[in-house]
Chain A
Amino acid sequence: MAIPPLTQTPTADSSITILDSTCTFCGCVCDDIDITVKDNHITDAKRACVLGKAWFYGHHADDRPSCLIDGRPASVAEGVERAARILTDAKYPIVYGLSDTTSEAQRVAVAIGDAIAGTVDTTTSVCHGPSGMAFQGVGEVTCTLGEIANRGDLIIFWGGNPAESHPRHFSKYSLMPKGMFVPNGRKDRTAVGVDVRKTKTAKAMDLFFQIKPRSDFEALWTLRALAKGIDVDPEQVQSDTGIELSRWQDLMNRMKAAKFGVILFGMGLTMTRGKHLNSEALLSLARDMNAYTRFVVKPMRGHGNVTGADNVVTWQTGYPFGVNMTRGYPRFNPGEYTSSDTLARGEADAALLVACDPMANFSQPARERLRSIPYVALDPKDTPTTRSAAVSFTTATYGINVPGTVYRMDDVPIYLRPALTTSHPGDLEVLSAIHRRVMELKR
């Protein structure tokens, strides 16, 4: 596998600037960050947003051991050996996480999952997995972000708060850009927000629909009905959604009049009652709208390379997440093979956790199970998950210390330009070593 060298290797006494570096904090994956490095610290991150700045400035060289076994320092080689044994001994091991690492590392993680006959799942399953399921039901009409910048004239933000979760989204992609067909930028666009509460995003909108909590499905269904010209009961619409029918009708009129409508949607849809069927309603609406005008949707993906995880798992196994390989071939069934479920039901008996923190954010039964089984964790940070691991590796941070490929929220692949050196090994190095040892043990 070709791993290009670091593009610039800083020396201790000079300050260098790496142009067009990539930030992987959120799904925007901005690749126009100019990083200034001095003494192995990032001193400037031009054009980075507040989240990006925290990302770039928050990296410090540390002298934590690269490997701990049962909480005690060990060599990486010893850790690899122990990790390989834990994983090959297991009857129902899971490989989970994968979103905050490069696709090169993700590919090896899936290879391990295959070799140990386990189940591979990514953080997609607790985030936009439902959108993936909806996609499998009805398909999706979408585009790359530059299309939105060049053509989008009606931008709807549904169930998300990009002003805070993806701070440069408006300026870089969805609202401000002076595009080929929207030469006046913001002035040529109408921004609409739909959410259950008024967030910072709401303030940036021209129109805002504060819908009743958990009524996204009903709201989308109302719009679908209006698109088709079906008579609907105004009282029911009001009571279902908290918004008068006339406002929905006005929105639908605008949607039909748009040249290129866009709906960007978030967890408000995927993680509330209805989940994948909420997403499916939205994807269906976009499809319906294409009979009248050009209309696209985009799920607002979170972590820097969760889209990469989807892509890698799909091309290697055929399925995007929650992929079980315990019987020697890939099987897919969200709810059955997704990690939060296999842990909560006590089914997983070992785990390889890469760049994720289930000990901090999974359900109680899942956390209890995880605590009770041997698992291996890779993470640049010290987290509740790494602290309870049988083997934990402190790894280099992707995009900061090590290069690799990541996929932006619209599936565009971008290469990372790392800025700092570290003594810690990268995920790719550790996973490759574990994979090699697993293959030896399995023979």
Chain B
Amino acid sequence: MLSLRYKADTSIPVEVEGLTPSAVRALSVAEIQRFEVFHGNRKVPLAEFFDVSGDPSDARLEFEGNLAGVHWIGAHMTEGEIHVRGAAGRHVGSEMTGGTIHVHGNASDWVGGEMHGGLIHVHGSAGHLVGSAYRGSATGMTAGTILVDGSVGNEVGLTLRRGLLAIGDGCGDFVGANMIAGTVLVFGTCGIRPGASMRRGTVGLLGANPPKLLVSFRKSCVCQPTFLRLMFKRLQSLGFTVPSDCYDANYGLYHGDHVTVGRGEILIRES
């Protein structure tokens, strides 16, 4: 395990894009200390901001400290494990294809942006655009799992292509907007306009006081879908808490968004 203890005190963005378990696996600590990262527009060696120690060969990185101003942690990673013991900045796990990231704190916006595989678990809250497409993309996240124990902001799962997002607490507006496929489950409250423009895929609103859906959604029935229970079991196995009363609840099934293809589903807990 490689330990990276954050010792900087700067409000200027620190970008560690490229610092992944695979990139440092075969390097010595001295080489890792010289790894170039960005502090605003300056290239600086990693050691300027982190005390580096340990052994990277097991492809496990442990960041420690308040890294709310450190961005692109785990971006593009393909394997291995990253733990952040503290807050994390923007673009955590952006475009990653494999491996696991745990943020034991809050993360900022764009967690798992256009992710293609692997697992991200934010044990605190996250910002906007979790598991989302970047601006202009016709396709967003294509695979992987993102779990956020706390709450998140707007546009969760924007243009989701495939993958699983689970939010333990509340989410903001436009969850699952423009979705192509995949699953987003929100266990807390939800903001307005969920599933706007969704084409296929599933949004589960499992918390209290669900919002009204847009007029272009139509209720089809009330059900207890088996697949949900399987999802919950899977989430539990990943260390995500699913309230026990979700298992046997009734869910209203709504189809939409009929303004587009309309083959998406929104499940709203009714009991």
* A–B touching in complex (CB under 8 Å): yes
Query: B-contacting residues of A (Cβ < 8 Å)?
Result: 90-93, 116-118, 133, 136-137, 217-218, 221-222, 224-225, 228, 230, 232-233, 236-237, 240, 273-274, 277, 281, 284, 326-327, 332-336, 345-347, 349
- List the count of A-B residue pairs having beta carbons below 8 Å apart: 88
Q: Which of A118, A133, A228, A335 contacts B109 (CB 8 A)?
A: A335
8 tightest CB-CB pairs across the interface, nearest first?
A: A91-B40, A117-B41, A92-B40, A346-B11, A136-B136, A326-B41, A232-B215, A224-B259
Q: Which of A117, A133, A217, A347 contacts B135 (CB 8 A)?
A: A133
B258 to A, closest residue via Cβ: A230
Query: A-contacting residues of B (Cβ < 8 Å)?
Result: 11-13, 15, 38-42, 69, 90, 109-110, 128, 134-136, 155, 173-174, 177-178, 192-193, 196-197, 212, 214-216, 258-259
Pairs A–B under 8 Å by Cβ, sample size 15: A217-B196, A230-B258, A230-B259, A232-B216, A236-B212, A236-B215, A237-B215, A240-B212, A277-B193, A277-B196, A284-B197, A284-B259, A332-B135, A333-B110, A346-B11
Q: Contact: B41 with A347, CB < 8 Å? A: no
Q: Contact: B215 with A347, CB < 8 Å? A: no
Given contacts A277-B177, A335-B128, A136 and B215 within 8 Å (CB-CB): no
Given contacts A274-B173, A334-B135, A224 and B40 within 8 Å (CB-CB): no
Q: Contact: B90 with A240, CB < 8 Å? A: no
B136 to A, closest residue via Cβ: A136
Residues of A within 8 A of B42 (CB): 91
A218 vs B259: C-alpha distance in the bound complex, in angstroms?
12
Given contacts A136-B136, A333-B135, A349-B12, A225 and B215 within 8 Å (CB-CB): yes
A215 vs B188: C-alpha distance in the bound complex, in angstroms?
24
Q: Contact: B215 with A91, CB < 8 Å? A: no
Residues of A within 8 A of B69 (CB): 347
Additional pairs, 7, CB under 8 Å, beyond known A136-B135, A137-B135, A218-B215: A118-B41, A136-B136, A221-B215, A233-B215, A336-B110, A347-B69, A349-B12
A326 to B, closest residue via Cβ: B41
Q: Which of A116, A225, A347 contacts B11 (CB 8 A)?
A: A347
Q: Contact: B177 with A349, CB < 8 Å? A: no
Q: Contact: A273 with B173, CB < 8 Å? A: yes
Residues of A within 8 A of B38 (CB): 326-327
Min C-beta distance of B86 to chain A, whole Å: 17
Q: Contact: A221 with B259, CB < 8 Å? A: yes
Residues of B within 8 A of A277 (CB): 155, 174, 177, 193, 196
Residues of A within 8 A of B196 (CB): 217, 221, 277, 281
Residues of A within 8 A of B216 (CB): 221, 224-225, 230, 232
Min C-beta distance of B37 to chain A, whole Å: 11
A91 vs B221: C-alpha distance in the bound complex, in angstroms?
57
Min C-beta distance of B252 to chain A, whole Å: 15
- The majority secondary structure among interface residues of chain A is loop
B133 to A, closest residue via Cβ: A137
A273 vs B154: C-alpha distance in the bound complex, in angstroms?
11
Residues of B within 8 A of A233 (CB): 215
Residues of A within 8 A of B109 (CB): 335-336
A116 vs B42: C-alpha distance in the bound complex, in angstroms?
11
Residues of B within 8 A of A237 (CB): 215
Residues of A within 8 A of B259 (CB): 221, 224-225, 228, 230, 284
A284 vs B260: C-alpha distance in the bound complex, in angstroms?
10
Min C-beta distance of B206 to chain A, whole Å: 22
Q: Contact: B136 with A137, CB < 8 Å? A: yes
B213 to A, closest residue via Cβ: A236
A281 vs B178: C-alpha distance in the bound complex, in angstroms?
11
A43 vs B79: C-alpha distance in the bound complex, in angstroms?
73
Residues of B within 8 A of A222 (CB): 215
Residues of B within 8 A of A224 (CB): 216, 259
Min C-beta distance of A144 to chain B, whole Å: 24
Q: Contact: A336 with B41, CB < 8 Å? A: no
A236 vs B38: C-alpha distance in the bound complex, in angstroms?
51
Residues of B within 8 A of A218 (CB): 214-215
A225 vs B40: C-alpha distance in the bound complex, in angstroms?
46
Min C-beta distance of B230 to chain A, whole Å: 32
Min C-beta distance of A405 to chain B, whole Å: 28
A116 vs B40: C-alpha distance in the bound complex, in angstroms?
11
Residues of B within 8 A of A232 (CB): 215-216
A174 vs B212: C-alpha distance in the bound complex, in angstroms?
37
Q: Contact: A345 with B11, CB < 8 Å? A: yes
A334 vs B42: C-alpha distance in the bound complex, in angstroms?
22
A241 to B, closest residue via Cβ: B215
A345 vs B12: C-alpha distance in the bound complex, in angstroms?
9
Residues of B within 8 A of A334 (CB): 135
A133 vs B128: C-alpha distance in the bound complex, in angstroms?
16
Interface centre among B41, B193, B214, by most chain A C-beta atoms within 10 angstroms, is: B41
A233 to B, closest residue via Cβ: B215
Interface centre among A92, A117, A218, A332, by most chain B C-beta atoms within 10 angstroms, is: A92
Min C-beta distance of B242 to chain A, whole Å: 30
Min C-beta distance of A216 to chain B, whole Å: 11
Min C-beta distance of B263 to chain A, whole Å: 14
Interface centre among B128, B177, B193, B212, by most chain A C-beta atoms within 10 angstroms, is: B193
Min C-beta distance of A358 to chain B, whole Å: 18
Q: Contact: A92 with B12, CB < 8 Å? A: yes
A63 vs B38: C-alpha distance in the bound complex, in angstroms?
45
A347 vs B40: C-alpha distance in the bound complex, in angstroms?
9
Given contacts A92-B13, A333-B135, A346-B11, A240 and B40 within 8 Å (CB-CB): no
A224 vs B11: C-alpha distance in the bound complex, in angstroms?
44
A274 vs B174: C-alpha distance in the bound complex, in angstroms?
8
Q: Contact: A336 with B90, CB < 8 Å? A: yes
